[in-house]
Structure 1
Amino acid sequence: MTGPVLRALGLRRRFPHPSGDVEVLRGLELSVDAGELVTVSGRSGSGKSALLALLGGFDSPDSGRVLLGGEPVDGAPPWHTCAVLPQALGLAPELTVAENVALPLRLQPGGDRDGIDARVAGLLGDLGVGALSDRYPGEVSFGQQQRVALARAVSGRPKVLLTDEPTAHLDAASKPAVLRLLRRCANEGAAVVVATHDDEVHAAANRRVRLADGVIMAASG
């Protein structure tokens, strides 16, 4: 599939504040094609996380709409359609690392259940956390949890992948594997959106957009 998979049309979102409502998004427009890795930059508080929450259906705009595959987003789509890696990660503490990564595959209708173990092992190995598969999230570092959460997000080969600061807690040795996986997801046809302050992530993107004053201010290849 080519062409826009994900579109934000006129998004507005305000949040209450004691001194008056704060409008973090002001008619934002964004289009992301299949096979494209787009990074979103902007100062802290510029609305990057708010934008991802709207794109992923975890929040609703005050006005405007989000289209995924041409259809309006109303609530969070299934993981194989749109997967999200939030800053909070959201790993299930009662499941092992491998069980967390396998979860989208086990919930995916019509998925290849025979290939689940191989898919999980491959992703964890690619990210350098294969030896942790039988541990629980609370037994590994936050940076390792972040890589596990990325493996879970991509395990079902989603059409759209949204990630919020995916390299924020990684050391220099761990980062290249994450960048390769994000790039690979786009190369395999996903529309990938990454909110980040990391220049190395921006360098791996097809396009970088800058969020300021609640709108997309600039784009570069």
Structure 2
Amino acid sequence: MTTQTVHDGRPGVRVDNVSKSFGANGSRVTVLDGVSLSIGMGEFVSVIGPSGCGKSTLLKVIAGLVEADEGSVTIDGTSVRSAADGKLIGLVPQSPALLPWRTVLDNVRLPLTVNRKANAGRAVRDPEELLASFGLGAAIHKYPGQLSGGMQQRAAIARAFVFDPSILVMDEPFSALDEMNRDQQRLGLLEFWNSNRKAVLFVTHSVPEAIMLSDRIIVMAAHPGRIAEVIDVGLPRPRTAETYDTAEFRDLERDVRAALHGVMEKAHV
């Protein structure tokens, strides 16, 4: 049996005409220029594009780490600030950022120990159960230095789920892994996401990764950063390693690479 994207009718992420520049007056560089997009609850959307197209800046604006110069962002119908205060946003950075002197379990528990008064009454998930669901049940008392890179990243993803966020933003979380390990982590993330169906914005440089994970792929162009094309991924779910070998996957890979080639050509005209 195959399944497609499930939406629960809630607004998810909405980005309206967002622009962002950096630098001093007279030498400012526009990194994002009038970007608009939406991600429904239960939808997995990847962003791909050349270096300098604003992928990570867009993620940081959505996560509330950077404020847009123009435009607006809403998360589940509320402002980014309110969503962040309500722990509605889960962030997974490129580096796992685990504290080496804390065990895996204590690292995942860390968000619960920060500002306990503000966190009182919030819905939380059991850290041990989360780690077990990511295949780390036997590693909870180990330290980050005792884990492989893939295991460390899984722990970081588990930590992002502690407050059971509505939205998950992921900034190339598997980029430091070798291809075999990276593919294993993709499939593990897919399995976990399929049972939770969060709205996900996933930044990546990998075309196969974007196709395997996503419902839609946003192709961005650079100088300034803007959306060049949105590609629907119609592959049925759940997806497995065999999905890579299908004609449909290869067709999508050709289409995404053609779109990327197009934005690169225009950037050098």
Could you state the TM-score of these two structures normalised by the residue count of structure 1?
0.84
Partner of 1:119: 129
Higher-RCO chain (CA-CA 8 Å, sequence separation at least 6) = 1
1:194 aligns with 2:202: yes
Instruction: Report the equivalent of 1:207.
Output: 216
Q: Cα deviations across residues 136-193 of structure 1 (Å, max 9, x unaligned)?
A: 3345444432222112112332100000112212231453344332464365231101
Identical columns (%): 34
- Is 2:45–2:215's contact at 8 Å kept on the other side of the alignment? yes
Is 1:70 the counterpart of 2:77? The answer is yes
- For structure 2, the residue ranges without an aligned partner over 5 or more in a row are 1-7, 233-269
**CA RMSD, 1 decimal:** 2.7
Structure-2 separation of matches of 1:77 and 1:146: 22
Answering whether residue 14 of structure 2 is matched by residue 7 of structure 1, we say yes
1:134 to 141, 147, 154: 141
The structure-2 alpha-carbon separation of the partners of 1:183 and 1:120, relative to structure 1 and needing over 3 Å to count, comes to closer
Higher strand share: 1
Q: How does 1:127-206 map to 2 (within 5 A)?
A: 129-171=136-178, 172-173=180-181, 175-182=183-190, 184-185=192-193, 188-203=196-211, 204-206=213-215
In structure 2, the CA distance between the partners of 1:19 and 1:95, relative to structure 1 (3 Å rule), is farther
Q: Count residues with an aligned counterpart.
A: 217
Deviation, 1:36, is: 0.2
2:23 matched to 1:16?
yes
Alpha-carbon distance in 1 for matches of 2:202, 2:89? 13
Cα distance change, pair 138–76 in 1 and its aligned pair in 2 (3 A) = farther
CA distance in 2, matches of 1:201, 1:184: 16
- Unaligned ranges ≥5, structure 1: none
Higher Cα Rg, which structure: 2
Task: Report SS of the residue matched to 2:12.
Answer: strand
